[in-house]
Structure 1
Amino acid sequence: MFDGSTARISALRAGRCAAAGPERAAARAEADRLIAATRLQSGEFPVMLANHLPMVLEALCRLGAPAARLAAYAEHYDRVHAVPLLAPRIAPLGRADWRAALGDRRREADLRDFFLTEAQRLGGFGAIRIYVPELVQGVAASALHGLMRLAYGVLRGDDAEIGAALGYWATTYLPLRDEPAGPPETDDPAALALMMRAEPAFQDFSFDAHLLWHWIAKTGRMDAFAPLIGRLRFGPETLDRVTATSAALYASTMSFEALHAVTGSHWVRIVTPYLDDPLPLLRHFWAAILALYPKIGMPLPATVDELAALRALTPPDDLDIAAAAIASDDEHDHSLVFSALQEFRRTGDPLYRVLAARRVQLM
C-alpha cells in the first residue's frame, strides 16, 4: 500500500512515477507495460463510454501506486468494463484522405494506424503541432477524453500514446456550432454561464441521455448556443480564468460534469505549450464545458466568500489524499485527485487540496 517514505513523498510532489528506488522503478516499468498493452484496445467500451485505463494507470503511478496495484487495477478495469480490442481495419488512410474518416467509429483502427505513423514520422510533439489545429473544433470528442489521452501522452513524452490519442480524438470527433453574432463582450468565462442562465432556450432544458457527449452534442448544436462562445474575449489570461471558474463550479456542485471542467482545464494546460496558437483549443474546450452546463441545472459557481471558507479548511495530507485515490476503483477519483494535486503544486491554491479530499470522501 502507500507509505510515507521520502522517495514516495518526492515522487508525489514532483508528479512523477520515476523516483529512485527499486519499488518505484518496478511501478514505472509496470505502468509502461500496461499502458502499451492498452494500445491493442479500443478507446471506448460499450456503449460508447471512454476507456480511461491508459490515462489512469499513469495517474495512479504518479500518485505512488505500487506495481501490484497497477496490475490489479488494470485487470479489474478490463473485467468490469469488458473493454474490447480494436475492431478490424477497413482500409489504410494517408495524409491525403484521413479527414474523410473523421468521426467515423468504424475507422478507429485505420485512424489509429495513421496517427501512430505520423507521430513516428514527426515525433509526438510535432504531430500535435500539425494535427491538433485540424482536430480542435471537435475536442468534445468522447466527452473530452481524446484530449485527456493526449495530455497524458504528453506527460509521458510517449510518441505512441500521442499517436493513439490523436487517433481516438479523430475517431470520435465532435464539432459544435460556433457562429459569433458580434464582437466579444467579456473577458470572464463565467459570464457566459450567466448568459446561458438568462437565455429562455436553456430554461428547463432536458434531454433523455446519459452519455456526456450526447448532451454536449445536443446543447452544442442549438441555435441559442451557436453565438455563445463568440461573446468571450480570449487572451493570455483566459486559461487561468477558465481554470478558476472550473474550480468554483466544481466547488459549488461536486458534480461529475464540473469534475471534467477541472480536469479538462489541466489537460488543456498540458497540451497548449506544443501549439503555435493555444487559443482555439481553449475556445472549443470551454464551449464543450458550457454545453454540459444545462445538464446540471446551470448552478452558480461558488462565491468568493464560499471559496474563502473552503480554503480556510485543513484537509488531510497530500499523501493520505493520494492513498485514498489509489485505493479507489473509480477512474474519476484518480483523474480528479491527480489533476487537483498538480494544480495545487502549480498555483499553491489550497482549494485544490480541499476539492481532492472531498472527492475521495476524506472531508
Structure 2
Amino acid sequence: MDTTGILDEALQRLHSSGPERLGRLTNHAPMAVEALATHGQARSVHHWLDAYSRKLEEFPLGVEPVTAANWRFALGDSRRAADWIGYFGREIAERPWRDVLAEWWPRLLPGMYGGSTHPVIRVGHAVRTLLTDDGTEPRLTELAHGLGYWAARYHPVADLDSLPGADSAAAALDTVPPITTREGNFPSRLGRVTGLPVWATAVTDPHEARRRLTELVRAATHRYATHGHGEETMLVHAATAPNAVLRSLPALPHALWVPSLRAAWTASAAVTAMYAPDTPVAYTPPGTHTPEEVFERALAHGDEHVIKLTDTALDVGDERALSAALRSIDLSEPLV
C-alpha cells in the first residue's frame, strides 16, 4: 500500500491522457505506476512517467453522453471512450464503487478480449488500490477510466469449439492448438481462434473457482519462462489478464467468480493460441535474485510489460515465476 501520496499524484497527472494512442495502442502508464507504488518504488514513479510521457496522447473528445437508456448502443464503440469514462465517473461519484463494479462486471466480462485484454488489466490494478484504500478521488477516477476503456473496447469472442483438455492449468495450456496463420494484429488473430481445450468447466463452487484461477495465473506465468520468445510482449497477457480477474474477485459477489474463471481461461488460452512459439527453450533458474532485486531490475529496464509481468510474478511468488520475469527483461526492448 502506497502511503506517500505519489500514486495519487501520478494518477491525477495521467487522467488528462487518453486510454490509447494512435487509435490502437494502450496507455499502460496507470497500470505500471500502480505496480511500482505497490512494490515500494513510489519514489521512482514520476521519473518513470517522464520517460513514458512520449507515449501519451491527450484525453479524447466525447461524442454523446452515455446514459442508462442508451448504453447498449455505445458498447464496443472505441470512438466513445470519453463518453464511457464520463458515464462511469458519474456512476462512481453517486454510488459505492463496489456496487458499480458488481453491476457492470457481468455486462463487460464477455467482452474482456477487446483492447488486447488491457482494459480488464487496468481495472484489476485499480481494484487492487481500492481494496487497500477505499476511496481517494484519483483511485476512484482511475476505476472509472478502466471501466470506461473496457466498455469502449468491449469485444466478445465467437462461439468456440470445446477441444480435449487436461486436469491442470499447465497441462491444458500445453494442449492449446496454435492458430494456423500467425500474422496480423490481436483482433485479426483472435478471429482465427476457433476452439480451445476444456479446462475447469465443471467448477461450480466460487472458492474452487478462485483456487483454479490462482492455478491458471501461476501456470501462465511459469510458461512465459520457456515460451515467452514466441512474442515477448503479447504473451505477457496470458498471465496478466487472468491475474487482473483474480485481483478483482474480493470486490465481487461470489456468484460472479465462476464465470470470471471461465472468461479468464478463454483469454489466457486464446493468447497462447495466437502467440505461442513452436518449441520452448530450456528453463533457466533465476539464481540467487530476491523478489525485490528482480523488481528493481524490471524498473531499471523500464518496459511497461516487463514491469507488469514482474508484478504478477511477485504475486505468484516462486522461483519459476521470478525466472519468467527475468526472461521478459532479456527478451524485451528497454524503455528509453
Q: Which moved more, 1:84-93 or 1:234-243?
A: 234-243
In the alignment, which residue of structure 2 is the partner of 1:112? 85
Alignment of 1:171-320 (within 5 A): 171-178=152-159, 187-190=167-170, 192-193=172-173, 196-197=176-177, 205-209=180-184, 211-216=185-190, 218-220=191-193, 224-225=194-195, 232-235=201-204, 236=208, 237-254=211-228, 255-276=232-253, 277-297=256-276, 299=278, 310=285, 314-320=287-293
Q: Report how far residue 52 of structure 1 moved.
A: 0.4
- In structure 1, how many angstroms separate the alpha carbons of the residues matched to 2:215 and 2:278? 18
Q: Which runs of 5+ in 2 are unaligned?
A: 131-138, 332-336
State the Cα deviation string for residues 38-57 of structure 1 (Å, max 9, x = none). Answer: 22221111140111011101
- In structure 2, how many angstroms separate the alpha carbons of the residues matched to 1:326 and 1:270? 22
SS in 2 for 1:219: coil
AA of the residue aligned to 1:272: L
AA of the residue aligned to 2:147: L
- In structure 1, how many angstroms separate the alpha carbons of the residues matched to 2:129 and 2:103? 19
Contact 1:215-1:291 at 8 Å conserved across structures: no
SS in 1 for 2:18: coil
- In structure 2, how many angstroms separate the alpha carbons of the residues matched to 1:116 and 1:240? 31
Alignment of 1:31-42 (within 5 A): 31-42=7-18
Evaluate the alpha carbon distance shift between residue 31 and residue 178 of structure 1 in structure 2; reply closer, same or farther with a 3 A threshold: same
> Which among 151, 159, 164 is matched to residue 140 of structure 2?
159
User: Runs of 4 or more off by more than 6 Å in structure 1?
Assistant: none
How much identity, in percent, do the aligned residues show? Answer: 24
AA of the residue aligned to 1:166: L
AA of the residue aligned to 1:62: T
- In structure 2, how many angstroms separate the alpha carbons of the residues matched to 1:230 and 1:336? 23
Evaluate the alpha carbon distance shift between residue 35 and residue 87 of structure 1 in structure 2; reply closer, same or farther with a 3 A threshold: same
- In structure 2, how many angstroms separate the alpha carbons of the residues matched to 1:170 and 1:114? 10
Counting matched residue pairs gives: 313
Contact 1:135-1:169 at 8 Å conserved across structures: yes
AA of the residue aligned to 2:146: A
Q: Report how far residue 179 of structure 1 moved.
A: 5.3
Rg larger in structure: 1
> Which among 133, 136, 141 is matched to residue 114 of structure 2?
141
Q: Report how far residue 298 of structure 1 moved.
A: 5.8
- In structure 2, how many angstroms separate the alpha carbons of the residues matched to 1:61 and 1:207? 36
Contact 1:135-1:173 at 8 Å conserved across structures: yes
- In structure 2, how many angstroms separate the alpha carbons of the residues matched to 1:248 and 1:70? 27
TM-score, normalised to structure 2, is 0.82
AA of the residue aligned to 1:250: Y
TM-score, normalised to structure 1, is 0.77
CA RMSD of aligned residues (A): 2.8
Alignment of 1:340-359 (within 5 A): 340-344=313-317, 349-359=318-328
Contact 1:141-1:174 at 8 Å conserved across structures: yes
Contact 1:192-1:232 at 8 Å conserved across structures: no
Contact 1:249-1:258 at 8 Å conserved across structures: no
In the alignment, which residue of structure 1 is the partner of 2:49? 74
Q: Report how far residue 272 of structure 1 moved.
A: 1.6
SS in 2 for 1:96: coil
SS in 2 for 1:360: helix
Evaluate the alpha carbon distance shift between residue 295 and residue 98 of structure 1 in structure 2; reply closer, same or farther with a 3 A threshold: same
Q: Report how far residue 164 of structure 1 moved.
A: 1.1
SS in 2 for 1:278: helix
In the alignment, which residue of structure 2 is the partner of 1:45? 21
- In structure 2, how many angstroms separate the alpha carbons of the residues matched to 1:258 and 1:192? 16
